[in-house]
Amino acid sequence: MDEFDVVIIGAGPAGSSTAYRLAKEGFNVLFVERSNRPGSKNVFGGRIYSYPFPEIYPDFWKEAPIERYVTQENLVFMTESNSVTMKFDSSSSEGVSTQSFTALREKFDSWMAKKAEEAGALLITGTRVDDLYWENGKIAGIIAGPDTVRSNVVVAADGVVSDFAQKAGLRRELTAKEVSVAVKETIKLPKETIQDRFNLGKREGAAYSFVGSATGYLRGGGFLYTNKETISLGAVVNSEDLSLQKKEIFEIIENFKLHPFIQKLVRGGKVVEYSAHMIPELGVNTLPALFKDNFLAVGDAAAMVINHGYTYRGVDLAVVSGISAAEAIIQARQRGDYSHMGLSSYPDFLKKRGIMDDMNKFKNAPSFLQNARIFTAYPRMVCDFFDRMYTVDGKGKEKIFDIGKDEMFGKVSVLKMLRDMMSGLRSM
């Protein structure tokens, strides 16, 4: 039987960062990935927040497969026929901003896995882990096909529908209310076309969030990110809303793509990839536990995702939790104790890195997002307001205040809107 100090299930950002940190520390690490190339099946919007990386990978900015630096943020309210865009430009004179960048998962995840391999971890791809291996009621390794591999610690980094966090008894199955469904298309266009259409420099990138008709007014949002030679376009929709409205996520993205605003941006492009995935909408409150004897969960498997309503953060949190778990395992080795007690510094390392603060700050985000008005009433209001403000039809122009009163206050009470906005601001 093969034996390792630590076996990690999954080579996404969470698994690869754990493997990297542990291998650097001299641990004998195996990480097992189901797909043939790390990242090849992993779906995400397209933007990664960069703060955790340079500290972990000293040559990050030189080596990492970055598509474009996000220098342009757009929030678009849309109805079927109109749209209102709020744009924030942050390009510096050098044309780069290091806050966040766009990336393609296959390249990015493969790069992270390669870093872990270079540090000495053993990566096996194309193998699905089937089960946990137990000895005397304790987790003692993994089972894949006919083979068992023993280890002191098992780390579940197997993503959002983590079988293993469930198998270990850390969490229950998610309900429809607690997950959103996402689809994404990758659309190929020449580099120059992308730069012209989005008004970008060579290394600059744009990020868009869409609310309103993008999701057929269901809870969720549309997104668009520019890569070097592709555009990532997609939508995330609450799965409960989908089933209540008897809609399919595929219809939603088809309609979204047909919107004139999107048509102009993706015109002439060729769809080179299509994918669908789930996102947990949990928040830390619903997170039962992150670890137990000989076992830790990291990244999406530990529900480390923050939903800003219109954008997602997950890759950065996956990496921070991966590194924190690795540090806890390093301490456990010093104590010679891989039990729950021995691993108990995991949440402390998470706190030290500020991640728990972030998660706590956003813990109300899911309930804020449960509020359907944001996705139904407000986009229409905003669009109608501007529509009437800019309409000249010879029948006499209204005063802006009157338009506002009608549009804003006709559909939703002032009090309600103020309350929504406050709770929104607080959770964002």
Ligand X SMILES: Cc1cc2nc3c(=O)[nH]c(=O)nc-3n(C[C@H](O)[C@H](O)[C@H](O)COP(=O)(O)OP(=O)(O)OC[C@H]3O[C@@H](n4cnc5c(N)ncnc54)[C@H](O)[C@@H]3O)c2cc1C
DSSP track, 122-143: EEE-S----EEEEETTEEEEEE
Interaction between residue 165 and ligand X (CB under 6 A): no
Nearer to another protein, 158 or 384 (CB): 158
Radius of gyration of the chain (CA): 23
Specify the DSSP class assigned to residue 41. Answer: T
Contact 427, 368 (CB under 8 A): yes
Interaction between residue 220 and ligand X (CB under 6 A): no
Nearer to ligand X, 223 or 385 (CB): 223
Chosen residue from 54, 58, 95, 126 binding another protein by CB under 8 A = 126
Interaction between residue 158 and ligand X (CB under 6 A): yes
Q: Could you list the beta-strand ranges (E) of 79-196.
A: 83-89, 100-102, 122-124, 131-135, 138-144, 147-156, 179-188
User: Least distance from C-beta 347 to another protein, angstroms?
Assistant: 31
Which among ligand X, another protein, none contacts residue 126 (Cβ within 5 to 8 A by kind)? another protein
Which 297-356 residues touch ligand X, going by CB under 6 A? 299-301, 305, 312-316, 318
User: Least distance from C-beta 37 to another protein, angstroms?
Assistant: 8
Chosen residue from 32, 224, 287, 304 binding another protein by CB under 8 A = 32
Alpha-carbon distance of 75 to 379, in angstroms, equals 11
Strands 204-212 and 220-226: antiparallel
Phi, psi of 101 (to 5 degrees): -145, 160
User: Least distance from C-beta 313 to another protein, angstroms?
Assistant: 31
The SS3 assignment for 241 reads helix
Interaction between residue 113 and ligand X (CB under 6 A): no
Q: For the chain, how many helices (H) and strands (E)?
A: 16, 19
Interaction between residue 52 and ligand X (CB under 6 A): no
Nearer to another protein, 139 or 383 (CB): 139
Interaction between residue 8 and another protein (CB under 8 A): no
User: Least distance from C-beta 35 to another protein, angstroms?
Assistant: 12
Contacts of 344 (CB under 8 A, 6+ apart): 291, 328
Which 130-149 residues touch another protein, going by CB under 8 A? 144-147, 149
Chosen residue from 96, 157, 170, 214 binding ligand X by CB under 6 A = 157
Contacts of 29 (CB under 8 A, 6+ apart): 4, 5, 6, 7, 8, 19, 22, 23, 116, 120, 121, 122
Contact 313, 51 (CB under 8 A): no
Contact 379, 79 (CB under 8 A): yes
> How many CB atoms sit inside 10 A of residue 203's CB?
18
Nearer to ligand X, 5 or 158 (CB): 158
Interaction between residue 42 and ligand X (CB under 6 A): yes
User: Least distance from C-beta 38 to ligand X, angstroms?
Assistant: 6
Which among ligand X, another protein, none contacts residue 394 (Cβ within 5 to 8 A by kind)? none
Strands 291-292 and 138-144: unpaired
Nearer to ligand X, 45 or 309 (CB): 45
Phi-psi region of 298 (alpha: psi -120 to 50; beta: other; left: phi over 0): beta
Interaction between residue 14 and ligand X (CB under 6 A): yes
Site string for ligand X, 172-201 (x = CB under 6 A): ----------x-x-----------------
Interaction between residue 127 and another protein (CB under 8 A): yes
Which among another protein, ligand X, none contacts residue 30 (Cβ within 5 to 8 A by kind)? another protein
Which among another protein, ligand X, none contacts residue 64 (Cβ within 5 to 8 A by kind)? none
Contact 21, 296 (CB under 8 A): no
Q: Could you list the beta-strand ranges (E) of 51-105.
A: 68-78, 83-89, 100-102
Interaction between residue 124 and another protein (CB under 8 A): yes
Interaction between residue 29 and another protein (CB under 8 A): no
Contact 164, 297 (CB under 8 A): yes
Nearer to another protein, 148 or 193 (CB): 148
Alpha-carbon distance of 243 to 247, in angstroms, equals 6
Q: Which residues form the interface with another protein (CB under 8 A)?
A: 2, 30, 32, 122-124, 126-127, 144-147, 149
